[in-house]
Amino acid sequence: MASFDDDYDIRTFSPALGEGSTADEPRADEASAAWAQAASLGFHEGELPPLAAGLETLRGVDDGRVLTGVYAKQQRPGSLDAEGWPVATFVTLTKSINVGGGALLDAHLISGVTVQPTHRRRGVLRRMMTDDLTAAKASGLAVAALTASEGGIYRRFGFGVATRERAVEVDVRRASGLVVEPEGTVELVPRSALAEVAPVVFAAFHRRSPGSIDRHEGAWNRLLGRRRPDGSPDLAVRAAVHRDAAGEIDGYVTYKLEPGGAEHVHVLVVVDLVAASDDAYLGLWQLLLAVDLVTTIRYDSAPQSDPLPHVLPDPRAVRITGDQDHVWLRVLDPIAALQARPWAADGVVTIAVADALGLAGGTYRVTSEGGAATVKRASVRRADVELDVATLGSLWLGGVDPVTLAAADLVRERRRGAVQQLRAMLAPERPLHGITSF
């Protein structure tokens, strides 16, 4: 039987622009264009025109992304393989994640994972993933993260669901404003006014929000309406900012209006809402609820612990339309990861971690005191709790309750009271909330 290396080449490279590329019309080099086309195919999107492939490559350059492609050694004439397209794609970049208390830790982000249906079940994904995670750990990164198009793929590689995302619809007529008056003011602004403001506001939100992942360059053009995939601006996007009592901008929203099924009736779609304070979040919602000729507001990145229903006269005006996993985390270095985050209660607990890939397995003694923890490898007959590395990824930031996972038999308590103790120690200072997809 032929081995993987007999059938495939794996190439890792940085995206690059080719000859004739300009700022207005970037052009991908041959390898980057083929990679972008293969990734588009993998996500069932259309073939990319040269400008779209160039813009995708430019975003990769700006983000410092690293592309991996798997290439078939035996290429049949007339196939996409023979055109230089990889049969599988994989992309990584490094961005910070808020681990609590305003502390930011570099995380290894994984995206763009595709395998052509003609090359499934040949170990392609396993090879890409294991090679990449091994290299990420060797480089000193403590945790990897991804968002998944399909929920049944990544647990076997040690990823666990750490944060969730919620989509809501608000019935504007039932909502009828807020029962509180948030401090500050809101004002409509041109989209161009957000060019310098938005990154500053997001940085403040990022420092404030456990579970947040820093935004990559590829997101800004879409969220601010600057450039659609075809390179044109999205003229339907409107913008507003919130100013605090001192006049400083601490929040913004971009939105667009879509036909609501009747004349002069619209659905307001929130494109991006970033608030660095509670007043900014409520103040921006107060504005959205006041837009005329709108019956429904749709928002796909609402917090799990959303204050909005609590400040409406009728909380049933908010309807949850979607609730699913968002960021999956994979711990690569338990000592570094556990010591990076703050700890809510003093205590000592030993944790036995199983890892089928051999990257993070072992038993670790966590000693927390005064909000920080010291973590060391331990040699004990039996740990206080036992779990696998995917479960550790779910628990790490405190977004998933260890009591819940104990009920699911994913956390096994070997010392009475250890799960409750771990629950108190891991509690985050604020509910986890992230709005970055990648």
Same domain, residue pair 137 and 170? no
Same domain, residue pair 318 and 185? yes
Collapsed DSSP state (helix, strand, coil) of residue 2: coil
Here the CATH number for the domain that contains residue 420 is 3.30.1050.10
Same domain, residue pair 336 and 304? no
**Res. 138: pLDDT tops 90:** yes
User: Per the domain annotation, does 151 fall within a domain?
Assistant: no
Here the CATH number for the domain that contains residue 257 is 3.40.630.30
Burial class (CB in 10 A: 0-12, 13-18, 19+), 280: buried
User: Per the domain annotation, does 149 fall within a domain?
Assistant: no
Same domain, residue pair 224 and 298? yes
pLDDT band at 262 (very low <50, low <70, confident <90, very high): confident
- Residue 418, CA atoms < 13 Å, CB-side half-sphere: 20
CA distances from 335 to 19, 374, 376, 382 (A): 46, 8, 7, 19
Angle at CA of residue 36, ends 35 and 38, nearest 5° = 65
Of all residues in the chain, the percent with pLDDT exceeding 90 is 91
Q: With left for phi above 0 and alpha for psi between -120 and 50, is residue 184 left, alpha or beta? A: left
C-alpha–C-alpha distance, residues 397 and 394, integer Å: 7
Q: 294 φ, ψ to 5°?
A: -120, 130
Same domain, residue pair 72 and 123? yes
User: Per the domain annotation, does 432 fall within a domain?
Assistant: no
**Res. 264: pLDDT tops 80:** no
C-alpha–C-alpha distance, residues 339 and 328, integer Å: 20
User: Per the domain annotation, does 185 fall within a domain?
Assistant: yes
pLDDT tens track for 231-240: 889 999 999 9
Domain that holds residue 11: 4-141
Q: Which two tokens stand for residue 405?
A: 């996972």
pLDDT band at 10 (very low <50, low <70, confident <90, very high): very high
Of all residues in the chain, the percent with pLDDT exceeding 70 is 100
User: Per the domain annotation, does 242 fall within a domain?
Assistant: yes
Same domain, residue pair 378 and 244? no
Sheet holding 385-388, edge to edge: 372-377, 362-369, 347-354, 385-388, 412-413
**Domain count of the fold of the chain:** 3
Same domain, residue pair 246 and 359? no
User: Per the domain annotation, does 261 fall within a domain?
Assistant: yes
Name, in order, each residue with C-beta under 8 angstroms of 264's C-beta and a sequence gap of 6 or more: 293
User: Per the domain annotation, does 76 fall within a domain?
Assistant: yes
- Owner of token pair 């809101």: 186
Same domain, residue pair 313 and 343? no
Give the per-residue pLDDT at 310.
98
Average pLDDT over residues 54-71: 96
Q: Are 350 and 380 spatial neighbours (Cβ–Cβ below 8 Å)?
A: yes
Same domain, residue pair 290 and 238? yes
List of E strands, 62-141: 66-72, 88-100, 103-115
User: Per the domain annotation, does 46 fall within a domain?
Assistant: yes
**Res. 103: pLDDT tops 80:** yes
Average pLDDT over residues 339-357: 98
Of 141, 157, 180, the last residue of a domain is: 141
List of E strands, 205-337: 238-243, 249-259, 266-275, 294-302, 318-325, 327-331
Give the per-residue pLDDT at 2.
66
pLDDT band at 78 (very low <50, low <70, confident <90, very high): confident
Average per-residue pLDDT for the chain = 96
Which residue(s) pair with 271 in the sheet?
Answer: none
Same domain, residue pair 320 and 195? yes
pLDDT tens track for 149-198: 999 999 999 999 999 999 999 999 999 899 999 999 999 999 999 999 99
Burial class (CB in 10 A: 0-12, 13-18, 19+), 325: middle
Average pLDDT over residues 310-339: 98
Same domain, residue pair 303 and 245? yes
Same domain, residue pair 218 and 252? yes
C-alpha–C-alpha distance, residues 57 and 28, integer Å: 6
